[in-house]
Structure 1
Amino acid sequence: MAETNNVNYSEDSIKSLDWREHIRLRPGMYIGKLGDGSAYDDGIYVLVKEIIDNSIDEHVMGYGKTIDIKITEHRVEVRDYGRGIPLGKVVDCVSKINTGGKYDSGAFQKSVGLNGVGTKAVNALSNYFKVQSVREGVTKIAEFEKGILNNDAAEQPSKERNGTFIAFEPDNTIFKNYHFRPEYLQEQLWNYAFLNAGLTINYNGQKYFSQNGLLDLLRHKTDEESLRYPLIHLKGNDIEISMSHSNQYGEEYYSFVNGQYTTQGGTHLAAFREAVVKTVREFYKKEFDAADIRASIVAAISVRVQEPVFESQTKTKLGSLNVAPEGASMRSFVNDFVKKYLDDFLHKNPTTADALLKRILQSERERKEIAGIKKLANDRAKKANMHNRKLRDCRVHRTDEKNDARHNTTLFITEGDSASGSITKSRDVQLQAVFSLRGKPLNCFGLTKKIVYENEEFNLLQHALNIEDGIEGLRYNRIVIATDADVDGMHIRLLLLTFFLQFFPELVRNGHVYILETPLFRVRNKKETQYCYTDTERQKAIKKLGPKPEITRFKGLGEISPEEFAGFIGEDIRLEPVILQKETQIAKLLNYFMGKNTPERQRFIIENLKVEKDLAEQIA
């Protein structure tokens, strides 16, 4: 007989949360994953975006050509010079769901923020939130704490220019141990500048400005010397594209809707990829394989539509229900534009057309050369997947779109059995997988993609990640290199990064690759234990714990017990993202570190070597 549940289900069981409580209880519904700022898509950057989007929308409507932004590790300030929030609605606009000016399509024709939630989410998730509006010589200020109004000042005269000022500090009980990384913010702000030609953004004393839109974006993102032909730049009503082909592996795309960076693409990007293939086939009158046409492409596309439909509140993927200008489907709108303008461009620029043809034919040759070994390797990988001793998989994957936890799926790449054993025993089997290396992987610098299939370890890693045909099917959101902090461990890191940068650079560009930071020291007395990641932290721990604490130096991951390891890969995990700076050119970077320029590297090491005495003086 079933056991009776004694919990009383009555009217008192039904709870109605106000807007603030709901956002704070379910923040992931509004800003995606939380995070500490180590990933480009962590929630604190979504908060910044929500505020700046409002200022951008003012600029797009023709009000304000400058936005001033100041961001420190824990505080954000944004000042625009648009029309300013209507003074009587300042409080409502930042604290009442479904209140805003963007429901009137006449006022905001092609805006990103149409749901009236963004600014309210920032308010609710901040320890401190301030909004100030200036309109025609009058200003209104309101201040909040975790969404609760605690200062509703009366309107005052003001000599400031019209516009809106917002300052906030994310709630450190929700975003634990967070800090803003300038590298991510800079990329975010450059994208705003590229998509809004003529707009000036002043960020922490640095000016962000673009005159040529997506052409400037690809100049910023690529090494123009490595491109097979000069960047193509095509612009129409509500659509803009820029593209070229390079010598790298994979496909590289930057897609935008109404100025929103759709990192997961969507219908506009799918239509563009399809349109390029169709146009190229018709131009050359040859049925090239689609993979050969798109291999090594680097491209950007931006569209503007009324009332865009995204697949989530964080707006990273455009949905399928969008109607392009003049009532066309997104697919036909993009297809028609690319077919007309790209075809015209290739007819008018025979040198570019010839260079594009050579790149396609090269990709075709490379694909055919490895076809045989690729089939054998894939068959071998399928058999290994039945009983893959290298991979201890998890249950949730990045491709499980209905599972909110997919953002935290992680693959640890470890060296040796002892380190793999510690992580395997202490990991979260729902979200964390482990791939175990056998010794040092091959230095693949300068080798062709054929080696990915010939080398069993690389091939199994490629299949574990599911990235053979691009990163759309990537099974883990975070790829974490977990090696010892010694010379051998550092070398393995370099070898793995060489593999990813050489053959799958989009994994690094899209912020999926990290280095696991593990403690170097354990300092403890009878009452307390502290783990230290640097010598400075060790010194502080010694002072705090008193005379003669026990100090353990961890030399390798295998020395850390599974019980201890659980604390380093759980909620407080410390990850160092692998970030490609604007000026980083992959070919030159790999050639310097992994090529045969030993004298040059040797000279650098000798000139920058710190001897034990210097280190001792620094510590003292």
Structure 2
Amino acid sequence: MPNTTRYTEEHIKSLDWREHIRMRPGMYIGKLGDGSSADDGIYILLKEIIDNSIDEFVMGAGSNIDVNIDDEGGVSIRDYGRGIPLGKLVDVVSKMNTGGKYDTRAFKKSVGLNGVGTKAVNALSKTFEVLSIRGGKSKMAIFKNGNLEHTIEDSACKEKQGTKISFIPDQSIFKNYRFRLEYVEKMLKNYVYLNPNLSIHFNGSTYFSENGLKDLLLDYSNEDDMAYPIIHLKGGDIEVAITHSKTQYSETYHSFVNGQNTTQGGTHLNAFKEALVKTIREFFNKNFDPSDIKKSIISAVSIKVMEPIFESQTKTKLGSTDMGGKLPSVRAYIMDFVKTHLDNYLHKNTELAQAIRQKILMAEKERKELSGIRKLAKERAKKANLHNKKLRDCRVHLTDTRHNRALETTLFITEGDSASGSITKSRDVNTQAVFSLRGKPLNTYNMSKKIVYENEEFNLLQSALNIEDSFDNLRYNNIVIATDADVDGMHIRLLIITFFLNFFPELIKEGHLYVLQTPLFRVRNKKETIYCYSDDERREAIKKMGTSPEITRFKGLGEISPDEFKHFIGEDIRLDPVMMDKATSIEQILEFYMGKNTVERQQFIINNLKVELDTAEELMN
């Protein structure tokens, strides 16, 4: 008989709510991260609390929300709604499946219906305080690591009614985390776009929107780049905004359900795309190719659904097929709305309709011109994929929406075989892929889409990402440029960023592109090794270790062994997101950095040049 592990009653364990969340945080908030990505866990914590305040506003209670994040990463959110019932205050934030949103009379179209969000924030926070003010009375509960410390009650509170929650994420779970205010700002702007007349006050700034999704598109793209004025349509439980870009090649969609940004779409977004194609075809009475209609589109759609079903706790994809109650299916509702309202709008705005027609015809012409070279490029990519040495793929992809690690999927774009070899040997084969460049890629500034198919390297990169036909098919959530921190490495970064800005700017606008930080120095003695990413960190490490530690300066990624590299692309990975300044257009960015304005660029370099001198004596001391 084979030996088997002893299995008795003592091996059966029951975890309380707090232990379960802390042991399996990914089940509740997706990936953890350090704040460098917009879908990292600390932003989910923030969102879970704000969602509750938004639900109060939707129910007509309180038109202001105060949000503050301090320099130490502490968060406070104050709304002026009805306040949590004082007798249930502790239960609401610490007892699973407890909340007011199960009663659909109170919250008809809420985001948070499963009573988990606030409890997850509590369990994953170092400190968590909740204060409810209601009917002239108040009650505060203070928790540490999810455990109730004590409560404070006041029977004569004079503050305005509402709820205030303050928390500090637990650094033992969210290691080296930092809130990037650009991500928080985008989140808060989405809230006000979806809730006209709501004011959100954040660290001294106020966000407010009068025109809903129209304001979202205006904030996302410059008006000068729009082929025609934004079409803005509103109904009882739906709002739509549509335009086309003059320069962008692929499709961009912003989709929302009950105020939740469904970044991975779902049944409502699929129905919207189908309705758009059908309405345009019928209006012009021509069987346009769907890809020509949708090419360069920038649009937003928001719907409200009774008791929505999402495909995960982080609510990034809608699974519901019906609107709830006596309403028709999601598909039928959206199809009917778009067909009626968009058709009427086009009949009333004939010049705009002709601008759309012209845009479609231009897309059709370009598609036909590229069809030959596209076919050859696809055949070449298909053959290369059989023995593609450039791509070392991973097992899970972003399109595996039901997989709990889909958001972790990462493609490293590396220079040369030595760097790609180190990353390939040390990567997580489940979620991390590697694409190796042969050398410096082509400068694609001012080039047409034709070059993407003619240049084998770019064609294979496009194929690896799977974004040629639709951004929805993106295979990796994070695209990371991993080059040496020298002049050549910086130049390669610029050339890759230029490629994406030129042909796939939504990758940057939607926060998918990053630059990998790798250590410049290794400082060690017999007891400890510290990797340093800057001169300041090197000095601190030398001071900590004392007398004569060994100091190594890494000149390139190829010098870092696979055993060491695993420390830099694992849970302690450091990423710098590539972000765009709304005030500067893509054309201006590319013209300045990659165009022929040599004198202006030289002056910029001179004005911003920073020289750091390291002497041998300083290195040793």
Give the TM bin, normalised by the shorter chain: over 0.9
Distance 1:310 1:391 in 2: 33
Q: Contact 1:66/1:81 (CA < 8 Å) preserved in 2?
A: yes
* Residue 36 of structure 1: aligned partner: 34
Matches within 5 A, 1:129-528: 129-247=128-246, 248-323=248-323, 326-528=326-528
Report the counterpart of residue 67 of structure 2 in structure 1: 69
Q: Alpha-carbon deviation of 1:111?
A: 0.9
Q: Distance in 2 between matches of 1:489 and 1:278?
A: 47
Distance in 1, Cα, partners of 2:8 & 2:401: 34
* 1:63-122 deviation per Cα after TM superposition (whole angstroms, max 9, x unaligned): 101001101242110000011011111111111111111111111111111111111111
**Alignment partner, residue 11 of structure 1:** 9
TM-fit CA distance, 1:438: 0.7
Distance 1:6 1:354, change over 3 A: closer
1:525-540 correspondence runs (5 A): 525-540=525-540
Contact 1:305–1:325 (CA under 8 A) maintained in structure 2: no
* Percent of matched pairs sharing the same residue: 66
Q: Distance in 1 between matches of 2:26 and 2:566?
A: 24
Could you tell me whether the CA contact under 8 Å between 1:324 and 1:333 is conserved in 2? no
Gaps of 5+ in 2: none
| Aligned-partner SS, 1:457 | helix
Q: How does 1:76-155 map to 2 (within 5 A)?
A: 76-155=75-154
Structure 1 residue 308: Cα displacement: 1.0
* TM-score, length basis structure 1: 0.96
CA contact (8 A) 1:480 1:515 kept: yes
User: SS in structure 2 opposite 1:191?
Assistant: helix
Going from structure 1 to structure 2, the CA distance change for 1:550 and 1:61 (only over 3 Å counts) comes to: same
Q: Write the deviation string for residues 307-336 of structure 1: whole angstroms up to 9, x where unpaired.
A: 111111111111143325742111111111
Q: 1:300 to 1:324 in 2, by over 3 A?
A: farther
Confirm whether residue 21 of structure 1 aligns to residue 37 of structure 2.
no
Show CA shifts across 1:143-190 (max 9, x none).
111211111223432110000000011111111111111010000000
Moved more, 322-331 or 239-248: 322-331
> Aligned partners of 2:561, 2:463: CA distance in 1, in Å?
30
Q: Deviations over 1:505-543 (max 9, x none)?
A: 222222221111001111223332211101111111121
Equivalent in the alignment of 1:46: 44
Shift, 1:545, TM fit: 1.5
CA pair 566-134 structure 1, distance change in 2 beyond 3 A: same
Where 2:566 maps in the other structure, the secondary structure is: helix
CA offsets 1:527-566 (integer angstroms, 9 cap, x no match):
3221110111111112112133222221111111222212
Mapped to 2, the partners of 1:79 and 1:612 lie a distance apart of 45
Give me the whole-angstrom Cα distance separating, in 2, the residues matched to 1:58 and 1:160: 18
Instruction: State the distance in 1 between where 2:172 and 2:80 align.
Output: 33
Residue 392 of structure 1: how far off its partner (Å): 1.7
Maintained 8 Å contact 1:53/1:112: yes
Q: Which moved more, 1:208-217 or 1:577-586?
A: 577-586
Contact 2:124 2:173 (C-alpha < 8 Å) held by counterparts: yes
Q: Does 1:571 align with 2:571?
A: yes
Q: How far has the Cα of 1:12 moved from its partner?
A: 2.8
Deviates more, 1:333-342 or 1:397-406: 397-406
- The CA distance in 2 between the partners of 1:541 and 1:53, in whole Å, is 42
Q: 3-state DSSP class of the match of 1:106?
A: coil
The residue type equivalent to 2:284 in the other structure is: Y
- Displacement after TM superposition at 1:571 (Å): 1.7
Cα 1:301–1:539 shift into 2, 3 Å? same
Contact 1:238-1:325 at 8 Å conserved across structures: no
Which amino acid is 1:425 matched to?
Answer: K
Is contact 2:240–2:301 with CA below 8 Å preserved after alignment? yes
Alpha-carbon distance in structure 1 between the residues aligned to 2:308 and 2:453: 42
Tell me, in whole angstroms, the C-alpha distance in 1 between the residues paired with 2:95 and 2:382.
Answer: 54
Structure 2 CA distance for aligned equivalents of residues 300 and 406 of structure 1: 24
CA drift at 1:22: 1.4
Change (3 A) 1:613 1:413: closer
Rounded Cα–Cα distance in structure 2 between residues aligned with 1:364 and 1:204: 48
Asked if 1 retains the 8 angstrom alpha-carbon contact of 2:252 and 2:471, the reply is no
How much has 1:25 moved relative to structure 2?
Answer: 1.5
Query: Separation in 2 of the partners of 1:505 and 1:326?
Result: 41
> AA paired with 1:451?
I
* Offset of residue 584 of structure 1: 4.0
Cα distance in 2, alignment partners of residues 204 and 170 from structure 1: 18
CA contact (8 A) 1:183 1:581 kept: no
Question: For residue 175 of structure 2, what is the amino acid of its counterpart?
Answer: K
**In structure 2, the residue corresponding to 1:331 is in which secondary structure?**
helix
Contact 2:410-2:433 at 8 Å conserved across structures: yes
Separation in structure 2 between the aligned mates of residue 127 and residue 273 of structure 1, nearest angstrom: 44
Over residues 448-477 of structure 1, what are the superposed CA-to-partner deviations in whole Å (9 max), with x where a residue is unaligned? Answer: 111111000001111112222123222222
Amino acid at match of 1:282: E
Contact 1:500 / 1:508 at 8 angstroms: preserved in 2? yes
2-side partners of 1:568 and 1:121: how far apart? 28
User: Cα gap change, 1:610/1:44 in structure 2, threshold over 3 Å: closer, same or farther?
Assistant: closer
Cα deviation for residue 504 of structure 1 reads 1.5
Distance in 2 of aligned mates of 1:224 and 1:165: 38
Encode CA deviations 1:213-244: one digit per residue, 9 max, x unaligned. Answer: 11111111111111000111111111111110
Partner of 1:207: helix, strand, or coil?
strand
- Secondary structure of 1:354 counterpart: helix
- Residue 596 of structure 1 deviates from its aligned partner by 2.1
Preserved contact between residue 78 and residue 162 of structure 2 (Cα < 8 Å): yes
Supply the AA of the counterpart residue of 1:41.
D
Residue 311 of structure 2 contacts residue 402 of structure 2 at CA under 8 Å; is this kept in 1?
no
Residue 614 of structure 1: how far off its partner (Å): 13
Relative to structure 1, the CA distance from residue 321 to residue 336 in structure 2 (aligned partners, 3 Å threshold; closer, same or farther) is closer
Q: Deviations over 1:278-335 (max 9, x none)?
A: 1111111101000000000001111112111111111111114332574211111111
Alignment partner of 1:201: what SS?
strand
**1:269 Cα offset (Å):** 0.9
Letter in 2 for 1:289: D
Secondary structure class of the residue paired with 1:347? helix
Q: Could you state the TM-score of these two structures normalised by the residue count of structure 2?
A: 0.96
How many residues align? The count is: 616
Q: What is the alpha-carbon distance in structure 2 between the residues aligned to residue 583 and residue 261 of structure 1?
A: 24
Q: Deviations over 1:383-433 (max 9, x none)?
A: 111101111222232233443223222211111122112212222223222
Q: Give runs of ≥4 in structure 1 deviating > 6 Å.
A: 613-616
- 2:273 counterpart SS class: helix
Residues of 1 paired with 2:463 and 2:260: CA distance? 32
Secondary structure of residue in 2 paired with 1:153: strand
Paired residues of 2:321 and 2:331 also in contact (CA < 8 A): no
The verdict on how the C-alpha distance between 1:324 and 1:374 changes in structure 2, with shifts beyond 3 A counting, is: farther
SS in 1 for 2:153: coil
Q: What amino acid sits opposite 2:425 in the alignment?
A: K
DSSP 3-state at the match of 2:15:
coil
User: Is the contact between residue 251 and residue 296 of structure 1 (CA under 8 Å) also seen in structure 2?
Assistant: yes
Compute the displacement of 1:337 (Å). Answer: 0.8
Instruction: Name the stretch that deviates more: 559-568 or 395-404.
Output: 395-404
